[in-house]
Amino acid sequence: MRFDEYRRHDALGLAGLVRRGEVTAGELLDLAVARLDAVDGALGIVGVREEAAARARLDAGPPDGAFRGVPYLFKDLFAFEAGRPLTNGSRLFEGFVAPSTSTYIARTLAAGLVPFAKSRAPELGLNLATEPRLHGPTRNPWDRGRSAGGSSGGAAAAVAAGVVPMAHATDGGGSIRVPAAACGLFGLKPSRGRNPMGPFIGEAWNGLACPHCVARSVRDGAALLDATAGPEPGDPYACPPPERPFLAELGRDPPPLRVALVAERPGGGVVHPDAEAAVEGAGALLEDLGHRVEPWTLPFAADELETVLLDIITSNLAADLGFWAGVLKRPLDASTLEACTLALLRRGRDLPAVRLQAAIGRMHGMGRALGNAFQTFDVILQPTLALPPPPIGWLDQDGDPDAFAARSREFCPFTALYNMTGLPAASLPLYWNGAGLPIGVMAAAALGKEGLLFSLAGQLERARPWFDRVPAG
C-alpha cells in the first residue's frame, strides 16, 4: 500500500482491509510511522514516540475490535497506560511513567487500535493552542505559521496531515472542538458521563472534561464512542443510554429539526466575518435540507461564563498540582511550570471553598437553562471559534497572564458552555475561508443526544463532503 492509498481510507475502512487480509496491521503501522517521520519536524505533532511498544502489541495480536490493527495516537495528557511514559506537556512530569491503565484507555485498546506515539498537548491542557515549552509548538497543516488549536492540537495536526485517520483527544473547555475547527476535522465532545474517567480520576474539573477523538469521518467518531461509552462502577454521573448504536444513526437522516442559530458572542458582540459566514452558511444548508432555522441569543453573559469556568478550573488545578508535587517530589515554580500555569495555580490556591461551591451551583443553573432551551429547540448552531486559527505564539502560555487570558477570551467564547452544562457538542468542517483555512461550525444538543448529533453530522457530511479536502504537503 502507498501513502496516497492509506490516506483514502478512514479508520473503519483501514480496519476492514486488515480484516479481509488485503493489508496487514504491520504495513499500516509502517505507513503511519513513515508519514510521521516526514511531517513531524515541520509540524511538531508528537511528544513521546512508542513504536517498539506498538510492534510488540502487533506481535501479540491486536484485539479483533471495530478498529483492528489501525494506527493511533494517544494524547499526552493523563492518558494512563501502565508502564508507558506521560509528560502532560509539562517539565513537571518529565520521566513520569503511568502506574496503571484507565478504563477509557483499556476500552480504546480493546477496540483494536494500535497507539505508537503520544500527540503533543499544551502544559496540563490549559491552552487553546498547543505550544508547550517542553516540546515546542504544534503547527497547523493548513498554514504552518498558524496554530493547530488546543489542547488536542497534536492529535488534530496528525489527522489533518494524514499520519492517522483518527486520534485520541480530550475536552475540558473546547479541546476536542477547537483543534477540530482549526484543522478541518470532525470533533465531538460527548455528554457528561458518557465515557468513563476512572478508576484513578473520579471526575475531571468537576465534570467539565471528558475524552473522545478527532477524526476525518463522522462514522469513525460514532464507532469509537460505541466502543468506549458506558459507565464503570462508582461513576459520579449517569448519562442517558443511547437509543441505538451511534454508528447506526448514520444510516438515517434526522427528522426536520428546530435549530437555534447563534451568530453573536455570549452577551453580544460580533465574531470574525469568517466565523459569521461559516455559521450563516451552515444555517442555510440546514434549511435546504428541510430543517427550521431561527436566530437565537445565548442567555448568559460572557463574564459570568468566564468567572465560573476559571473558578472551577483553577481550584481543581491547585488541588491536583498539590497532589502531583507530593508524588513527583518536585517544586511548583518556574523551573517546572509555565508562567500562565503558575498564575492560574495562584488564583486557585487563593479561591475560598465557598466560591468554588457557588461556581458549581451556577454551572448547574446554566445546565438547567440550556435544558429548558432544548424544550424549544433540537439543536443549537454557532461558530466553534470567534476567530480563524491564530499565528503561532499568539496564545503564549509562558508569557504575560493578562494578555493570555484576554486573547483566549477573544478567540474562543463558545465552547466551554457545553463543558459546564455537560451537553454534547460537535465541530463540523463545513467552511474554508479565502485564505484556505478551515473554519468550524458547532452543533449542540440536549444531554444524551449524541445520536441526534451523529445523525445530523452524517447528513451534513453527505450534503457537503469534506473527507477528501486535505492540506497540501
Tell me the pLDDT of the chain (473 aa) as tens digits.
999 999 999 999 999 999 999 999 999 999 999 999 999 999 999 999 999 999 999 999 888 999 999 999 999 999 999 999 999 999 999 999 999 999 999 999 999 999 999 999 999 999 999 999 999 999 999 999 999 999 999 999 999 999 999 999 999 999 999 999 999 999 999 999 999 999 988 899 999 999 999 999 999 999 999 999 999 999 999 999 999 999 999 989 999 999 999 999 998 899 999 999 999 999 999 999 999 999 999 999 999 999 999 999 999 999 999 999 999 999 999 999 999 999 999 999 999 999 999 999 999 999 999 999 999 999 999 999 999 999 999 999 999 999 999 999 999 999 999 999 999 999 999 999 999 999 999 999 999 999 999 999 999 999 999 999 999 98
* Sheet architecture: strand order including 71-75: 46-49, 114-119, 71-75
Q: Which parts of 216-326 are beta strand (E)?
A: 258-261, 292-295
On whether the CB atoms of residues 77 and 88 are closer than 8 A, the answer is: yes
Amino acid at 331: P
Pairing of strands 186-189, 425-432: antiparallel
Task: Give the active site residue among 102, 119, 152, 175.
Answer: 175
pTM, rounded to two decimals: 0.98
Alpha-helical (H) ranges within 329-388 are 339-350, 353-373
Determine contact, residues 116/50, Cβ cutoff 8 Å.
yes
Q: What is the pLDDT of residue 202?
A: 85
The active-site residue out of 75, 118, 189, 449 is: 75
Asked if 208 and 364 count as a contact pair (C-beta separation under 8 A), the reply is no
- Of the listed 90, 102, 151, 191, which one is catalytic? 151
Active site residue 151: yes
Q: Residue 449 burial by CB count (10 A; 0-12/13-18/19+): exposed, middle or buried? A: buried
Please say if 315 is a catalytic residue.
no
329 three-class SS? coil
Instruction: Mention the CATH class of domain 3-463.
Output: alpha beta
Residue 29 is placed in which grid cell? 503501522
- In eight-state DSSP terms, residue 414 is S
Element (H, E) at 168: strand 166-171
Q: Where are the beta strands (DSSP E) in 162-310?
A: 166-171, 186-189, 210-215, 258-261, 292-295
Q: Which residues does residue 442 pair with via DSSP β-bridges, in sequence order?
A: 382, 427
Residues 167/138, Cβ–Cβ less than 8 Å = no
Torsion 307-308-314-319 (CA) sign = positive
**Residue 100 annotated as catalytic:** no
